[in-house]
Amino acid sequence: MPNKETLFENLHKEYHPMVHQLCLGFLKGDNSLAQDLTQEVFINTWAALKNFKGAASYKTWIYRITVNTCLKFIRDAKKNQHLPLDEWNKTLVNTEPKSNSESNPYQPLYRAIGQLKEVDRLLIMMVLDGLEYGEIAEVIGIQLGNVRVKIHRIKKTLKNILQNE
């Protein structure tokens, strides 16, 4: 088994794009903030590396760290903003620079995802990242059937949001 530094470098190299994509979707396409949150995920991964037991794959484990980091970001943002999360989301959507949407064709999708509930955002980003439903169930900690139902509902909600935009 490689030493901690080598293992971390390998994990970072392999999973950085996946983590960044999840954070990017979570933050409605704000690349700068997504980079900061991605860095926070890997700081947390480094700190937790000594506790990895091997009960899950590294991919599932890092996803769980990403989910927890994103949820912590929400809690902290809610405390610091003193706004309800829905209002905070509206503020972020309304303050996005217009050039960002021009350079990123997925910006409408990110904005639509940003209007979802916290866990729903994470679920749909995992789907978009290509995770199997079984892996998603393991990361989120819910039943496989429940994952299917939630994802179906999320897709319907996103379709409605995008059609009304």
Could you report the per-residue pLDDT of 139-149, keeping only the tens digit for each? Answer: 878 899 999 99
51 φψ region: left (φ > 0), alpha (ψ -120 to 50), beta (else)? alpha
**Mean pLDDT, range 21-28, rounded to an integer:** 79
* Superfamily for the 4-163 domain: PhyR, sigma-like (SL) domain (1.20.140.160)
Contacts of 67 (CB under 8 A, 6+ apart): 122, 139, 140
95 pLDDT more than 50: no
Sketch the domain layout of the chain as residue ranges: 4-163
Model confidence at 97, pLDDT cuts 50, 70, 90, reads very low
